[in-house]
Structure formats: structure tokens, C-alpha cells
Amino acid sequence: MTTTTEKAATVAKTGVPLAGFGKLVVSEAKLVLRDTAGVVIPIGLPMLIMLMNGMGSDGEGIPEFGGLPVLDALIVPMTIVMVVALVGVVNLPSFLATYRKTGVLKRLSVTPMPPMLVLVAQTVVSFVQSLIGVGLALMLAVLAFDVSAPRSPLLAIGVFLLLAATMYAVGMLVAAVSPTPNSSVAIGLVAFFAMMAGGGGFGGRDALPEWLATIGAYLPYGAGIDGLSAAWMGAAPNVLPLVTSGGIAVLAAGAAIMVFRKN
């Protein structure tokens, strides 16, 4: 080469400014808020179902539930799981699949912001949305039906965190395998209803064939309900389904990241 070539040393070594990630989270939050259906349904629907169940129950303690009414021991845990599952498995993938399909991630990959951090930002926003949804549902439960606090609050928090991690991981996998944004909503809904049905979301697992009930108990939805029930009753949780749920979280997240990387 006859001409001078720019020296690499003149380009300063730089990374992603932390402020950039903060801005990304705020931006994702605004986008989630502007998607009205995505805000209202995951928060409103579970509360509505809880309200209807609550109005029909007599609030009498049941011995099998450690003396707690059905509402405390079962309905409230089901409501919490439903909020987290709707946000994680239906809402989250609809955003991520759109970003993947429309080139949002590709455009980011030529900026200093790694596209993977959008997934993280969306997860942060989803987590906050789940917290708000669960917070509102609990408030309603306490104000309207005088539902008691869980007897093992730490277990309740632990199960909630595990549940959130699992649902977001499954949501990311749904986004990763969906060929189009629309199909991600379809796949997400099918995954949601399958887990909900197996987990006893439609009138309890007793109504299911035994083999299906067993599978459902080990899937994140059922494991979450049982774990939260145990927390409310102050009983010892069934550990194996929770561990399985954690394993599903790790596998799903790993698979999702692999698929995202490949594209």
C-alpha cells in the first residue's frame, strides 16, 4: 500500500456506556405501556378470575389446606402464576419476535449496544410488570376477601422468583422459534394454555387423568401453584417439581440464546 493507513491506536478502546442500558430499559417500558392489550390482559384477566372465584367462596377454612380457605390456599397462588405466565409466555415473546423479524436486533448489532441486552431489558420490564400485576392482585385479595399473608413469606418470594425466571425463559424460547411475530403470539398462547391446563388452571388437577396431572405438577405452571400454596399454608414444599422447573428455565434460556445467536 502506497498511502498511509489509519492506525488502530487512534481509535479509543470503548465499551457500552451503562447509561445506554438504562435508556434501553426505559424505552422498552414505554413500548410495553403503549401496547394497551399487553398491559391490561396479563394484569386484569387474572384479577377478574380471582374476583369471580372470591365472590363465590364462603371463606371457610378447610383442614386439607392447613385450615385456610380455598381462596388463600389455591386461588391466590393460581392468580399469581397466571399473571407471571401471561407476561412471560405471551407478552414477552410478542415483543422479542417482532424485534427479531423486523430487524430491530440486526440494527442494534451495528451499534455499541449488544442486541442481547434488549432481551435483558425486556425481561427487566416484564419482571416489573409481573410485580405490579401480583401486587395489585394481592391488594385486591386482601381488601375484598381479607386473604391472609403467606405463612412462609420467604418461600413465597423464592417460588415467585423461580416461576418468573422459568416463564421468561420459556417466553424467550417461544420468541426464538417463532417464524413470525403473529405466530409467536399463537405459540405463546398454546404454550400458556397447555401449561395452565396441565397445571390445574382450569378447575384443579383432580379433574385431569392421573398421568396428565402428574406431568402438569412438574411443569412450571403446576409447580408454581403448588409451591405458592405450600408457602401460604406454611407447609413444606414438594422440592422435585420446583427443581424440575428450574431445570426447564436453564434449558429453555440456553436453547433460546443459541437460536438467537444463530440468526
Partner 1 sequence: MTVIAVDALRKSYRDTEVLKDISFDVERGEIFGILGPNGAGKTTTVECLSGLRVPDSGSVSVLGLDPRKDRARLRQVLGVQLQNGMLPDALQVVEAVELYRSFYRSGADPDELIAGLGLAEKRKTRVSALSGGQFQRLAIALALVGRPRIAILDELTTGLDPQARRDTWRFIENMRDSGVTVILVTHFLEEAQRLCDRIAVIDKGRIAALDSPLDLIKKAGGEPRVTFRTERPFDTTALRSADGVTSVTTHGTQNPETVVTGSGNLLLTVTTVLAAQGIAPLETQVRSASLDDAYFALIGHDAKELSA
State the residues that interact with partner 1 by CB under 8 A.
Answer: 1, 3-17, 19-20, 22-24, 27, 30-31, 34-35, 95, 98-99, 102-104, 106-107, 109-113
Smallest distance from partner 1 to CB 165, Å:
25
Residue 204 DSSP code: -
Count the neighbouring beta carbons within 10 Å of the beta carbon of residue 180: 12
Of 108 and 213, CB closest to partner 1: 108
Smallest distance from partner 1 to CB 1, Å:
7
Smallest distance from partner 1 to CB 103, Å:
4
d(CA 48, CA 141): 11
Of 21 and 65, CB closest to partner 1: 21
Q: In the structure grid, which three cell numbers stand for residue 129, read together? A: 410488570
Of 24 and 84, CB closest to partner 1: 24
- H or E segment and range at residue 214: helix 210-218
Q: Are 80 and 137 in contact, with CB atoms under 8 Å apart?
A: yes
Of 6 and 210, CB closest to partner 1: 6
Instruction: Return the bridge partners of 62, or none.
Output: 68
Smallest distance from partner 1 to CB 46, Å:
25
d(CA 166, CA 180): 23
d(CA 38, CA 33): 8
Of 5 and 60, CB closest to partner 1: 5
Smallest distance from partner 1 to CB 16, Å:
7
